[in-house]
A and B are shown apart, each in its own frame.
Chain A
């Protein structure tokens, strides 16, 4: 089904948080303030790599109105953070490893005083050589950034005998692909309000994708029991993976506890760019060979990821990339090795697509190059080598069987944009058009071996509201709207009957993180498990109150109805008042994982086929995206507007990844320090047509329901654009974002004359 307002009919609903967001009425957590609050600021290293000799804070402490100046000596617990591998200092002791590294923090009565306090702190540094190249960082001569050396993580996967298979190949394509240091560029920069409460508790109002994980990390830093900390984390003005790791929380929390006053911290865009995470820049070398019929015999891949100064999820991103450079195809033999390397280049971490974007850019580039060598249609070539539904996953692991791969392949094969790809109407000689396509298999969930809990609660509150209580976060993806629609459609409640409770560790259960395209699927699964017991209980309580057998009662809008649904017999408010005891049901289960024991290997996959049409202006070399089609097989669509929003939004980020975005660095220093030089696509760059086709069928008996779509829209666009550019210009590109200079040509009408001179 092509998803749009018309085809969605009554399911096309204005999201509950929409009007307040578009009018600016909604208060984000970083809009909050409290009387008597102090302003927190962090002093960050001006050097990408230096030793700290001394930190002098006396002058700053003496300024009236400055309530606290803290350094590493003031961290009561573990002076480190990191979701999996805590190796990043909250406040650096003796060394700084990137230009955003935190050295001290202050709390003052005004922003001006806080700025003055920062200026008054003197730090004596000894400059150390900057490690800015992940290849050189691995050499013995390179300075070691961490005690264990500069390799954060190394991993490999192999099957068959690659060297032997290459010798039998008819064609071999070898290419090195490079991808940019993309920034999440969320609208709301990092920040929060930190309030010390009575009884030694601390309330943290600060965006994150996983409130409980922040609570755990903060407890570790503050040396407090976890239950002494309450993390309120939604609504969030965008995250895209960038706020999953801690950012300002340690400083706000420490300053609030030290001063005993509420403290607010909110990054400027400048500070956000400097301190925030980025997508891992990767260099992916691929050598892939086929036989005369086009079957892939050998695929050898080497991945180098620049993980920057600290680990955060660098190892996990690399694992994901290793799995996805193998992706949806069958190989006689495959050999992949990957390394994630520490450098002084900022910090790379989690970002929508999680290493898949880099992997698929390279893998699909190989597919197009091989098809061309073979003289085959590139789409037919993909089908020839595609994994069959009964096949194992990329790492040889057992996966949940679906027909998604073939379904999206078929959908694109008959799409008019793809069928008419040879038609190249153009307005000027120097405008050239081309169409390219890419195929994506994207895993959801955290993967085998990583704790991946899920769950939720349903309750009838005292005021008669049906409460859906989940530990997931709303960061713009439409989680609230999707959950509401599920409750309406699957339970029969009215929109006014339900209250969604999320983003508060004092109220919600452990549901795992809102990452890895997992939240919608896990809410669906939770509701499936809760539906029977919860509805039965409502009917049972109603039955005893009304003295009518449950068989004659129905759950509906506003309350309990008679079986023909023409009389409302009992409102939910009355039911709540009359119930014998609290009506509350909870479920807890792990995200489904493959029985194959390979760390990080995925079990559930979403499939997508993407085609784009571009126009290249040969005078300037600039690429404009005209049309795009996405066919996505992700099971039933829970919320059409949300589904469409995820694909369109993901695509927008991918257009930036392909055409404009890169955090340029020179010797560990950002050259793009604000949004006037770091350019995300504007409306004018994204105003081409987008068609999203949702393929909802799942095999009979499938018990996993909707698959994730949060990331997949951001994966296939870049390779499709690269191929479309090749079709338009005859120029193969291996580096993103695309450099217009490589495409630009002297106008054709001059060439002859120029040559003839």
Chain B
């Protein structure tokens, strides 16, 4: 009897494995399969274990002692962000602040300071519903994965599109994020970007709606390029392709924004939860995106309305 009780007690506390490199981590995961999970900061996982959303596995594979996965480096055309870099470090990083302020906005909106000191940027991504994801999608970031064989790189948007259909391979280990550096060019002299998260309170709140957009205006004021993404709650963020398509090559005016608004309401597919209706999520996403475009563009000044400075 006693041993049975001991076994039951043992099962309540998992063993923690400390791989020294990525190959070892990957090997542990391959061998132990669903009995083990990778843990970086563990801030989200612990809430899932506590709430019963996820069962405590038999083994935890602690990634924190693997060298080389932390820190931010500026490369020629991109920033390379180690997947284990804590959110708070990303928020303070001078390169990110300079080149991708909307990522800073996104990080600032995640949880609270003490959580961000522990939580990692990689964890925010592989949670599949992190608030950074819409930013990475619209900024055309690449995610670099250790697949056990050769490293694999995939565009953030493609990755999230694939997630809509199937779960990612659990053994794949996110190692790095490559965030492109956008520059104004002669063809696209004006760039813009924005991030918004709406929760049920002002801070330390789960998201109801998270939107991001990133693009550029041509000299003639038409939209040169644009990416728009939305997510929030348990919704895996996704690009709003139809809205992007409507805008490309067009002057931003009242009619276009009305059409974009309708397209987002029709096309954004939020997952439900008890805290906001689908209609609210859709309308909020559409409102925030068109309001941002309204600010960015010259605006329909022909109507005699003064435009606010962004």
Take A660-B201, A682-B201 as given contacts and tell me if A744 and B288 are in contact as well, using a CB distance cutoff of 8 Å: no
B283 near A744: Cβ-Cβ < 8 Å: yes
Roughly how many angstroms separate A173 CA and B13 CA in the complex, as a whole number? 61
Contact with A along B10-28 (1 / 0, CB 8 A): 0011000000000000000
Q: Contact check: which of B1, B50, B288, B308 meets A619 at CB < 8 Å?
A: B288
Decide if the interface of chain B is mainly helix, strand, loop or mixed.
helix
Q: Nearest chain A CB to B71's CB is how many angstroms away?
A: 30
Instruction: Flag whether A34 is at the interface (Cβ < 8 A).
Output: no
Q: Nearest chain A CB to B1's CB is how many angstroms away?
A: 6
Q: Nearest chain A CB to B196's CB is how many angstroms away?
A: 8
B201 near A681: Cβ-Cβ < 8 Å: yes
B308 near A429: Cβ-Cβ < 8 Å: yes
B287 near A744: Cβ-Cβ < 8 Å: yes
Contact with A along B190-227 (1 / 0, CB 8 A): 00000000101111111001000000000000000000
Instruction: Flag whether A427 is at the interface (Cβ < 8 A).
Output: yes
Instruction: Flag whether A685 is at the interface (Cβ < 8 A).
Output: yes
- CB neighbours of B299 from chain A (8 A): 749
Instruction: Flag whether B169 is at the interface (Cβ < 8 A).
Output: no
Take A115-B12, A740-B280 as given contacts and tell me if A682 and B198 are in contact as well, using a CB distance cutoff of 8 Å: no
A750 near B254: Cβ-Cβ < 8 Å: yes
Take A429-B308, A749-B254 as given contacts and tell me if A679 and B200 are in contact as well, using a CB distance cutoff of 8 Å: yes
A747 near B290: Cβ-Cβ < 8 Å: yes
Q: Nearest chain B CB to A619's CB is how many angstroms away?
A: 4
Instruction: Flag whether B276 is at the interface (Cβ < 8 A).
Output: yes
Q: Nearest chain B CB to A396's CB is how many angstroms away?
A: 43
Segment at the B interface, from A212-220, A511-519, A528-536, A668-676: A668-676
- CB neighbours of A116 from chain B (8 A): 5, 8-9, 12
Q: Nearest chain B CB to A630's CB is how many angstroms away?
A: 21
- CB neighbours of B258 from chain A (8 A): 750, 753-754, 757
B203 near A684: Cβ-Cβ < 8 Å: yes
Roughly how many angstroms separate A757 CA and B255 CA in the complex, as a whole number? 8
Number of interface residues of B (CB under 8 A): 44
Q: Nearest chain B CB to A422's CB is how many angstroms away?
A: 21
Q: Nearest chain B CB to A116's CB is how many angstroms away?
A: 6
Instruction: Flag whether B2 is at the interface (Cβ < 8 A).
Output: yes
Instruction: Flag whether A666 is at the interface (Cβ < 8 A).
Output: yes
A619 near B287: Cβ-Cβ < 8 Å: yes
Instruction: Flag whether A430 is at the interface (Cβ < 8 A).
Output: yes
Roughly how many angstroms separate A619 CA and B286 CA in the complex, as a whole number? 9
Instruction: Flag whether A10 is at the interface (Cβ < 8 A).
Output: no
B residues 273-310 near A (Cβ < 8 Å) are 274-277, 279-280, 283-284, 286-288, 290-291, 294, 299-300, 303, 305, 308
- CB neighbours of A62 from chain B (8 A): 1
A750 near B261: Cβ-Cβ < 8 Å: yes
Instruction: Flag whether B51 is at the interface (Cβ < 8 A).
Output: yes
- CB neighbours of B261 from chain A (8 A): 746, 750, 754
Q: Contact check: which of A63, A64, A624, A744 meets B284 at CB < 8 Å?
A: A744
Roughly how many angstroms separate A741 CA and B305 CA in the complex, as a whole number? 27
Take A115-B12, A744-B283, A754-B258 as given contacts and tell me if A624 and B202 are in contact as well, using a CB distance cutoff of 8 Å: yes
B308 near A741: Cβ-Cβ < 8 Å: no
- CB neighbours of A85 from chain B (8 A): none
In the complex, which residue of chain B has the Cβ closest to the Cβ of A619? B287
Take A112-B9, A664-B274, A753-B258 as given contacts and tell me if A620 and B287 are in contact as well, using a CB distance cutoff of 8 Å: yes
Roughly how many angstroms separate A741 CA and B209 CA in the complex, as a whole number? 13
Roughly how many angstroms separate A112 CA and B280 CA in the complex, as a whole number? 43
A112 near B12: Cβ-Cβ < 8 Å: yes
A677 near B275: Cβ-Cβ < 8 Å: yes
- CB neighbours of B279 from chain A (8 A): 741
B287 near A741: Cβ-Cβ < 8 Å: no
Number of interface residues of A (CB under 8 A): 43
Instruction: Flag whether A622 is at the interface (Cβ < 8 A).
Output: yes
Take A428-B308, A746-B261, A750-B254 as given contacts and tell me if A620 and B9 are in contact as well, using a CB distance cutoff of 8 Å: no
Roughly how many angstroms separate A671 CA and B200 CA in the complex, as a whole number? 15
- CB neighbours of A660 from chain B (8 A): 200-201
B residues 245-268 near A (Cβ < 8 Å) are 254-255, 257-258, 261-262
A753 near B202: Cβ-Cβ < 8 Å: no
Take A620-B284, A747-B287, A749-B294 as given contacts and tell me if A741 and B254 are in contact as well, using a CB distance cutoff of 8 Å: no
- CB neighbours of B65 from chain A (8 A): none
Take A683-B203, A741-B277, A741-B279 as given contacts and tell me if A747 and B12 are in contact as well, using a CB distance cutoff of 8 Å: no
| A64, A428, A619, A744 — most chain B CB neighbours (10 Å) | A619
Instruction: Flag whether A270 is at the interface (Cβ < 8 A).
Output: yes
A64 near B5: Cβ-Cβ < 8 Å: yes
Take A740-B280, A746-B283, A750-B258 as given contacts and tell me if A685 and B8 are in contact as well, using a CB distance cutoff of 8 Å: no
In the complex, which residue of chain A has the Cβ closest to the Cβ of B277? A741
Roughly how many angstroms separate A753 CA and B260 CA in the complex, as a whole number? 12
| A270, A674, A679, A752 — most chain B CB neighbours (10 Å) | A679
Q: Nearest chain A CB to B291's CB is how many angstroms away?
A: 5
Q: Nearest chain A CB to B298's CB is how many angstroms away?
A: 13
Q: Nearest chain B CB to A63's CB is how many angstroms away?
A: 5
Q: Contact check: which of B200, B209, B280, B294 meets A747 at CB < 8 Å?
A: B294
Query: What is the interface of chain A, defined by CB distance below 8 A to chain B?
Result: 62-64, 112-113, 115-116, 270, 427-430, 619-622, 624, 659-660, 664, 666, 671, 673-674, 676-677, 679, 681-685, 740-741, 744, 746-747, 749-750, 752-754, 757
Apart from A679-B200, A681-B201, A682-B202: 14 A-B pairs, beta carbons within 8 A: A64-B2, A619-B284, A660-B200, A664-B275, A677-B275, A683-B203, A744-B287, A746-B283, A747-B290, A749-B254, A749-B257, A750-B257, A752-B254, A754-B258
Question: What are 19 A-B pairs at a CB distance below 8 A?
Answer: A112-B9, A113-B9, A115-B12, A430-B291, A621-B284, A681-B201, A682-B204, A683-B203, A685-B201, A741-B276, A741-B280, A744-B280, A744-B287, A746-B283, A749-B254, A749-B257, A749-B303, A750-B254, A752-B303
Query: What is the interface of chain B, defined by CB distance below 8 A to chain A?
Result: 1-2, 5, 8-9, 12-13, 47, 50-51, 198, 200-206, 209, 254-255, 257-258, 261-262, 274-277, 279-280, 283-284, 286-288, 290-291, 294, 299-300, 303, 305, 308
Q: Top 9 nearest A-B pairs by Cβ distance?
A: A684-B203, A684-B202, A753-B254, A619-B287, A741-B280, A753-B258, A682-B203, A685-B202, A754-B258
